[in-house]
Structure 1
Amino acid sequence: MSPRIFWSLLLGLLVLLGVPLTILFLRTHEKVTETVVLPPRGEASYNPLYVLGQALRADGIEVQSRQRLQLAKMALADTDTVVLLQDTRDLPPPTVQALLDWVGRGGHLLLRTQPPGKDTASTTQGPLLDRIGVESLFHKARCQRFHVEDDPSHEEFCRGRRFSLGFQARADAERHWGREGDLVFARLRHGKGRIDVLADMDFMRGAGAAPLPRKRTTAKDAPQRDGLHDLAHRDLTRYLLDPNYGRGTVWLVYGSRPPTLLARIVLQGWPVWIPLLLALLGWLWARAQRLGSVLPSPVVERRSLLEHVRASGELLLRFGHAAPLYNAVQALFLHRLRLRAPVAAALDGAARDQAIAEVLQWPVSRVATALTAPSPHDSSALRERIRLLLQMRSLL
């Protein structure tokens, strides 16, 4: 078959199979568009005021975000605005004084009361709230009705801690929201600037409370809403930012910390480290020794030369072979004698004993006893003669 015929047949086969399959696919499948909301990433995952900052930038406002209030690193102008989501109880008195001095020159400060916590008996509100005249905080949160044309049951500040103002602060208040002595919002004059005290700032966050039902609800039962995506929240935020809006920089102090590397690894990297951990545990289990009672250590061979010599001597002595032991020690002595006193070693008999006694300055009888072989079964005489021979050898 020629290549031209082969490729023609292959192309025809693809057309015959491909056209019906394409028609079948188009008739049995439908194109559907689905929107999936992904979890926030980067700064949006830890900055609750990130959406507010993006909205202000889109409106042409210069925005700066900070984790903590650090006036030394923030060049605040007299027309700037500071949204302080950070807990004001953390601010030291010098920082509070510097912040109030800036507000007195024309700045605009928005802050919130600390949210209700587990310690409902605590009355500590920090130096900043004390300085601006906030007298008391209420631990029980309650929703505040917020009239909206298309949402008549709209409510706000359901999770905020309401507050009351002192006499001087009430005199400086331009506007307030709530009943007398039970406020959720108050705008106070301070020099040329303004201070807005809010029960909470959930409506400014990236995620806040969902539309509440028409019936009266408590803060505990309030559902969740999508923060600045709610039109009423945008209007309320724009109203609060009005004094210096468009005149200076808006500083967003969100007061939260970005997640650490360890937290990211544990919470987001589990598809990687869990299989690796299981593989490591499996390898350790395969390499581990069997479980059970501890086996005794094997007996180590004793290779001491002295022990071998002592055992050989005791064996010869036990079987009545004392002569080889004596002859070995005597030969050791005579070898030393030939090195140190060759004249005495060349003699024999009584003459040799006399020469050795003169060299060692010993009695001749003692030398003769040491050089005389003992009886084969007299172990005491053997030990005595070996002792004398070794002593004589050491004196040479």
Structure 2
Amino acid sequence: MNRRTLCWVGAVLVALLIALSVFLVLKAKPYQEEVDHGPSPAAQANPYLAAEMFLRERGLKVSHAESLSVLPDIDPRRHTLLLFNDRSRMTPRQVEQVLNWTRAGGRLVFVAESLWDEQTKQSNDLLLDRVQLHQSLSKDLKDPPKDLEQDPFPKLTKLYVEDEDAPAYAGFDTDFHLDDPKNLAQAWANSGKATHMMQLPYSLGSITVVTDAELWKSQTIAQYDNAWLLWYLSADTDVTLIYNSEHDGLLTLLWRYFPQAIVALLALIGLWLWHIGVRHGPLQAPAPSGRRQLQEHLRASADFLLRHNGQQALLQALQQDVLRRARRRHPGFDRLNVAEQWLALSRLTRQPTRAISQALSPVPNQRLSSAEFCRQVAHLQTLRNTL
């Protein structure tokens, strides 16, 4: 192929590329697409993150904690404490600490956590009992009388504010009801059937009790007037929000970010356990069932007696057997003293009296060595066999 032909081929390719580019430019249309990646890690870790951001936008200073340990460092004047955490383990000392903080001028907002028990005259919520408010189920209340004008929003909680014609609407859980048997509350908010918020003065401070705080979580705070109500309860103060954050455990985080490494580690552990469990060396063949040698039975019986009765019992049995045979060979053997018995045995067995005395001496309590035990048994067997 000559140079002129190559130039023509290159020109054609360039023309095709230009034409393809023009076609794509004319046909391609840009567009925008939103991809929802779900809540951010910060929102997942903090269910009240939207509430905190809303209050900060209104100019309030907001902080949060996971326990009441921060309470001594909080100045109660012009400060609001939101107790949205689980208080099932709250101690009487902590209850008194919170109430003293409120008496000094703080605003306290907390969630009623337990139902009032008429039999025990108390609930499992120590803080709720101290402020003398009761919580019950709305289904246990009597149906309210039918007004001439029907309530258009019976499931919403209405709060009437001074100098306002229309009420504020909040999305409290209508399954629960707050009762004020001592008539201590000065403000309250009701749905069509029950009361879901009560506010009462407490020395220099104030206490607000609500049936739930779900309306102030990130998923529901934008509904109705939920956000406004939270601001209304904490207006012109600094805010400390106390709740329990749910953190993922170490194992959950490891499995989420390093699943391959965990699987490999488990496989290595399994291989290591299999390796140490492998038997080293050949298996010992089972003994044949046809063995019936008398020597083996005698040895097994002797080992059994030695393990269970000890050396002393075996030696004493041999000594008694020697004396029993001596009585049969020598009439009146029992009437002789020990020295005369040894002399008689010496004549009968033709053994020296020293060997006889060593063999028939009382068996010591301490354990004999294997050599000494075998020697003692051999002497006694020799005496017994010669009688």
Partner of 2:199: 187
Contact 2:156-2:171 within 8 A present in 1 as well: yes
Counterparts of 2:209 and 2:47, CA distance in 1: 19
Counterparts of 2:84 and 2:10, CA distance in 1: 69
Instruction: Say whether residues 1:230 and 2:223 are aligned partners.
Output: yes
Partner of 2:147: none
Deviations 1:259-307 (CA, angstroms, capped at 9, x unpaired): 22322233x33xx41586279649968x979xxxx995389xxxxxxxx
Partner of 1:384: none
Root mean square deviation of aligned Cα: 4.5
Counterparts of 2:133 and 2:158, CA distance in 1: 26
Contact 2:156-2:192 within 8 A present in 1 as well: no
Counterparts of 1:101 and 1:263, CA distance in 2: 41
Deviations 1:78-101 (CA, angstroms, capped at 9, x unpaired): 110111101233321122112112
Partner of 2:155: 144
Letter in 2 for 1:40: P
Instruction: Say whether residues 1:249 and 2:238 are aligned partners.
Output: yes
Instruction: Say whether residues 1:263 and 2:240 are aligned partners.
Output: no
Counterparts of 1:278 and 1:204, CA distance in 2: 44
How much does 1:252 deviate? 0.8
Change (3 A) 1:130 1:165: same
Counterparts of 2:26 and 2:243, CA distance in 1: 53
How much does 1:193 deviate? 1.5
**Percent of pairs with identical residues:** 20
Q: How many pairs does the alignment contain?
A: 259
For residue 189 of structure 1, give the secondary structure of its aligned residue in structure 2. strand
Contact 2:76-2:102 within 8 A present in 1 as well: no
Counterparts of 1:100 and 1:283, CA distance in 2: 55
Deviations 1:123-175 (CA, angstroms, capped at 9, x unpaired): 73321101111134328699732469xxx9x77223663221221xx2x3121
Contact 2:51-2:227 within 8 A present in 1 as well: no
Letter in 2 for 1:297: L
Change (3 A) 1:2 1:205: farther
Counterparts of 1:263 and 1:51, CA distance in 2: 26
Counterparts of 2:191 and 2:274, CA distance in 1: 72
Contact 2:179-2:195 within 8 A present in 1 as well: yes
Counterparts of 1:254 and 1:184, CA distance in 2: 20
Partner of 1:165: 180
- Aligned match for 1:240, one of 228, 233, 241: 233
Larger radius of gyration: 1
Counterparts of 2:125 and 2:74, CA distance in 1: 24
Q: Which runs of 5+ in 1 are unaligned?
A: 208-226, 300-396
How much does 1:51 deviate? 1.3
How much does 1:184 deviate? 0.5
Query: Normalising to structure 2: TM-score of the pair?
Result: 0.54
Change (3 A) 1:13 1:133: farther
Letter in 2 for 1:145: L
Instruction: Say whether residues 1:97 and 2:96 are aligned partners.
Output: yes
Change (3 A) 1:159 1:181: closer
Contact 1:62-1:249 within 8 A present in 2 as well: yes
- Aligned match for 1:297, one of 283, 293, 303: 283
Q: Which runs of 5+ in 2 are unaligned?
A: 142-153, 160-166, 286-387
Partner of 2:318: none
Instruction: Say whether residues 1:273 and 2:272 are aligned partners.
Output: no
Counterparts of 2:217 and 2:233, CA distance in 1: 14
Counterparts of 2:106 and 2:204, CA distance in 1: 7
